[in-house]
A and B are shown apart, each in its own frame.
Chain A
Amino acid sequence: GQQVMQIPQYQHVQEGEDFTTYCNSSTTLSNIQWYKQRPGGHPVFLIQLVKSGEVKKQKRLTFQFGEAKKNSSLHITATQTTDVGTYFCFTPGGSYIPTFGRGTSLIVHP
């Protein structure tokens, strides 16, 4: 079946440093979504990527979808304390069960 690996599991940064989380799938994906979950909160949708090689930006966040549509990344430039939380990639399914990655917890030190 489909496997979704997300790394790293945790990332500590100083405020102002950059952050990247990676998501890798064992199968080719039709699309991929990213969610953010604040501590004690519920996942909130950030973005969906559909096209091979797609790059989307939201202010300091940059999302990429690999050319082979088997991997994706989320990059945050100049982190702020408001960026704290766990970032999940999500593969919506189709031929496979919709699956969340394990998540990357971002801890920002002021």
Chain B
Amino acid sequence: EAGVAQSPRYKIIEKRQSVAFWCNPISGHATLYWYQQILGQGPKLLIQFQNNGVVDDSQLPKDRFSAERLKGVDSTLKIQPAKLEDSAVYLCASSLVFGQGYNEQFFGPGTRLTVL
């Protein structure tokens, strides 16, 4: 079974530039999460989708971050414009169904973003 795919794996940009990350979850997984993990901290949820609807985006800085999950499958996360403090690893995860019993999350390898 293929795991969660993410691209790119690494990205270096200047502040105020834009960047986009892509995620393809495990086939059949209805729930998709985007996390931001700053060095030395636990992953912080940015947005959670159930199919193509947003379940929670309360921690997404909406003035600069946006995310979409068209057709309820793959997803993109965009930052525009980037700030220095956005330097982090962006993790995508998927699970079968949110909130029902066993909802183990499967994580992709992440995208390491460096903002200079």
Contact = CB atoms under 8 A, between A and B. Distances in A.
Interface of A: 6, 33, 35, 41-45, 48, 88, 90, 92-94, 97-103
Given A42-B109, A43-B107, A45-B104, A102 B42 contact: yes
A81 B40 CA distance: 20
A76 B2 CA distance: 30
Contacts of A102: 41-42
A100 B59 CA distance: 13
Interface residues of B, number: 24
Contacts of B41: 102-103
Contacts of A44: 107
Contact residues of B: prevailing secondary structure: loop
Given A92-B99, A97-B59, A48 B42 contact: no
Interface of B: 33, 35, 41-45, 48, 56, 58-59, 91, 93, 98-99, 102-110
A48 B104 CA distance: 8
Contact of B108 (A42, A97, A98): A42
Contact of B43 (A43, A93, A97): A43
B106 A99 contact: no
